[in-house]
Amino acid sequence: MHRIYDLDRFGIVCIEDFNAGAMENKGLTTYNVSCILAHKDSSTDGRFKHVNSVIGHEYFHNWSGNRVTLRDWFEITLKEGFTNLREQLFSEHCYSETVERISEVNFLKSYQFPEDSSPLAHSIRPETIESVDNLYTVTVYEKGAEVIRMMKTILGDELFVKGTDHYFSKFDGKAVTSEDFREALSEASGIDLSQFRVWYEQKGTPSLEVVKNYYCKEKNAYIIVVKQIVPEQDNEKKMPYPIPIKFNLVGVESKKDLVPKSEEILLLKDFEQEFVIKGINENGVLSFLRDFSAPVSVKDFLSKEEILHLFKYDSNLYQKWEAVQRVFRDEIIRAYKSKAKQVTLEEDTKKCLECLVDTVDDYEYLAMALSLPTFQMRIRRVLTEMLEQTLSPGVREIAASCQIKL
C-alpha cells in the first residue's frame, strides 16, 4: 500500500542557521539551506541527489516517526534507522541501485565501522545516555537502517511490504518500540525475527570468517562453513547474531551463477554453522555477502585468481566492485611493502580493468569502480596491522592506556 500524506498542504521552512540537516515537524518540515537548495550552475550532481534524499527522508517520517511514533528516546533507531532505510530504497529507485548501495556501504564502513570499534561504540538502542543529543549517531542511523534491511532480506520484498503495512495500520497514532515493529513483521509474514533483538542489544561490528569452502564432486554439493566473531561486550555474555548472507557460486568452467536466485540467502544463526549447497555440478568461486547483505566485516579468504574470476564474471555488480577494490588495495599494499615510488598494475589486473570498461555502460558505476579505496575503508586496517608490528612495546602500552586501539 502507498503511504498517503494526510494533510492538504505539505509545508516546508528553510533556515540558514540550523544546527541539523532537517526536522520532520508534522505539517511544517524544517530544512537547513544546505539540504534543500541546489542550482544547476553551482551544485554538483551529488548535491542534487542529497537534496532529493533529505526531502524524501523528512516526507517518509510522516508515517515512520510522526503517525507511528516512539515510546521513548531510546527507541530513536526505530524511526531513524527505518526512515533511513526508506530513504535509501527511494534513492535506489530514483537512481542506479548498485551505485546507491555502494555509496551507502562506503559511508557505513568509513564512519560507522570506526565508531563501532572505538570507545564510543554503542548498540543501536543504547540503554543509558548523558544527553539526548548523544543519540544522533551514525550507529543509530546507518547501522539501524542495515538491521532493518537484513529483516527485509530475510522476508523478501513482498512480505516486508505486507509486514510494514501491518505495522503502520496496527500502530497508527500510537507510541511504540522496536519489539512492536519486529512482532508486526513476524505476524504478517509468519517468520520469527525474535533473535534480531541481539542486534539491538550488542555493540561493535561482528566479523565473519569462512572456515571452509569446497566443492564435493561425489555429492554434487558445495560446502561452506562460516564462523561469526562477536566483539567484546560490557558485561553480559556474547550472543550470536542472526546474519543473512547473500551469496552465489560463479562457475569455474561455465562462468555463470550456479545457485538459483531463490536460494541465494544463507541464514547464519549460530557462532559456527555448516551449509551444504546441493545440486552443484561444477566447482565455483564463492561470491560471498553479495550487496553487503549484513553490516559485518569479512576476513579475506579468496586467492588472487579467485578475486580476478569474480572481477571478470560475477553477475552481481556490487560484488564486482568489491573485487576491483580488493585488487586495488592489494596493489597499494604490495607497492608499500616493496617501497615502490609508484603503483604499477600487474598485467592480469590491467586486462580485467579493460574488460570492465568495455562491458559496463553505467558511467557512474564505472567511475566508482575505478576510484581507489578510501583510506578508512580498505587500507587503514591493513596499515595499522603493519604499523603495529613495527611499534615498540612501550608505545603500545601508552596507546592502550589512552584507549587507542592500534
- Interacting residues with Zn ion (CB under 5 A): 80, 83
Shortest distance (Å) from residue 76 CB to Zn ion: 9
Residue 15 or 379 with smaller CB distance to Zn ion? 15
Written as nine digits, the cell of 164 is 510494514
- Closest to Zn ion by CB, 80 vs 322, is 80
Sign of the CA dihedral with 104 first, then 105, 106, and 107 last: positive
| Least separation in angstroms between CB 190 and Zn ion | 30
Closest to Zn ion by CB, 29 vs 83, is 83
The partner residues of 210 in beta bridges, in order of sequence, read 226
**Residue 267, SS3?**
strand
Coil, strand, or helix at residue 330? Answer: helix
Rounded Cα distance, 278 and 404, in Å: 46
Please, what is the minimum distance in Å from the beta carbon of residue 23 to Zn ion?
Answer: 8
**What is the per-residue DSSP string for 37-92?**
---TTT--HHHHHHHHHHHHHHHHTTTBTTTBEESSGGGHHHHHHHHHHHHHHHHH
User: Do the Cβ atoms of 291 and 318 come closer than 8 Å?
Assistant: yes
Please identify, using beta-carbon distances, which residue of 80 and 291 lies nearer to Zn ion: 80
Cα–Cα distance between 166 and 162 in angstroms, integer?
A: 6
Min CB(11)–Zn ion separation in Å: 17
Q: Which of 16, 24, 58, 263 is catalytic?
A: 58
Residue 80 vs 104, nearer CB to Zn ion: 80
Look-up: residue for cell 598494475?
Answer: 345
Q: Look up 58 and say whether it is catalytic.
A: yes
Q: Taking the complex as a whole, how short is the minimal distance between the CB of residue 141 and Zn ion, in angstroms?
A: 8
Closest CA to 292 of 275, 274, 317, 271: 317
Residue matched to cell numbers 585488487: 327
- The secondary structure of residue 34, as a DSSP letter, is G
How far is the C-alpha of 268 from the C-alpha of 265, rounded, in Å?
A: 9
Q: So which residues are the catalytic ones?
A: 58
